[in-house]
A and B are shown apart, each in its own frame.
Chain A
């Protein structure tokens, strides 16, 4: 990371000039804060690209916010919101929280919702590719997501996230017992046992094992679980990259 990008005051000003409101409760100014905790982030390039991609599809007023906080752990939040609409399907919401733990940089995929008119046109892939570039620059180790609401439990299971909370995984298994035939359930249960018998306190259940089973669709559509993607795992990283670079 020796040649990693260092943010400048000019970049901060340029970000403001394209409409980003920069809030900080950190004791340092934004330049020092980013360079100390989020080294490598191409600050203006990242925000400018998000602005170019998302502003044209926003319906109504677009709020663009950067929030910095150094209450441990230090956190940098990037958000773009256009939510003053009568219909929820018109809302644009994008939020990523970068959190710097002592030995790990994590990004939380808090929210991403596109207006109905902008969906399934490749925009989500472009935005995610733009994010991934910065994750690589910064050395992000993990992506966290909460898989829930409107089929999120199924979609993010197929994407390769690992489920971190055993109680949530057990709840899905119990739900599967109600939805599936005996022989289907037995197969599903084998994946649960294979993982937790070896790692009773495990925090990375490979839920894609379930996500790609056609008869698990109904069960997973209604599920609610927290997931992580380990970008230091070569296979998981390559799968993620494959999805955003095609």
Chain B
């Protein structure tokens, strides 16, 4: 057993060794932003400025987490169901539109549907790792 307990602890330099992966550290920062907003402690702009995260960084974090979730769920033998994926994108797009803007979005819907049919006909597949 250590005789002189005063001079030692679980030293900070031990912990600092864990924080060398910048991408993971940024991910944790973004998770703090998300958590603070979801718990209604800070507004979104407050949380971004408090944790020093830019909108772009947070957007990338959200895309990554959504992508992982959706790709994992929609994949079959590592192949993503692209038709369904594009349909989900279309629905997400509609989530932010009111009745007036839904009509204006018809051309976007049509373009996505057409693109979806084309790549299906081409036999294009999106493979995911694992």
Flag whether A214 is at the interface (Cβ < 8 A): yes
Contacting residue for B1 out of A77, A147, A152, A194, CB 8 A? A77
Flag whether B12 is at the interface (Cβ < 8 A): yes
Cβ contact within 8 Å between A190 and B41: yes
Question: CB-CB < 8 A to A208: which residues of B?
Answer: 28, 32
Question: CB-CB < 8 A to B29: which residues of A?
Answer: 212
Cβ contact within 8 Å between B12 and A152: yes
Bound Cα distance A52, B111 (Å):
62
Query: For the complex, would chain A's binding face be called helix, strand, loop or mixed by DSSP majority?
Result: mixed
- Interface bits B17-36 vs A (CB < 8 Å: 1, else 0): 11111001000110010011
Known contacts A83-B2, A146-B9, A209-B32, then 9 further A-B pairs from the complex at CB < 8 Å, ordered by chain A residue: A67-B1, A88-B7, A111-B9, A112-B14, A148-B9, A154-B12, A159-B18, A187-B46, A209-B35
Bound Cα distance A7, B13 (Å):
33
The chain B residues found within 8 Å of chain A, CB to CB, are: 1-2, 4-5, 7-21, 24, 28-29, 32, 35-36, 39-42, 46, 50-52
**Please, how many residues of chain A have a CB less than 8 angstroms from a CB on the other chain?**
50
Contacting residue for A212 out of B1, B5, B24, B32, CB 8 A? B32
Contacting residue for A120 out of B7, B9, B17, B39, CB 8 A? B17
Question: CB-CB < 8 A to B32: which residues of A?
Answer: 208-209, 212
Bound Cα distance A135, B31 (Å):
26
Flag whether A79 is at the interface (Cβ < 8 A): yes
Flag whether A119 is at the interface (Cβ < 8 A): yes
- Interface bits A76-91 vs B (CB < 8 Å: 1, else 0): 0101010100001001
Cβ contact within 8 Å between A246 and B2: no
Bound Cα distance A158, B36 (Å):
15
- Interface bits A165-185 vs B (CB < 8 Å: 1, else 0): 000000000000000000000
Shortest Cβ distance from A120 into B: residue: B17
Shortest Cβ distance from A126 into B: residue: B17
User: Chain B's nearest CB lies how many Å from the CB of A72?
Assistant: 19
Flag whether A122 is at the interface (Cβ < 8 A): yes
Cβ contact within 8 Å between A149 and B9: yes
Contacting residue for A113 out of B14, B16, B39, B40, CB 8 A? B14
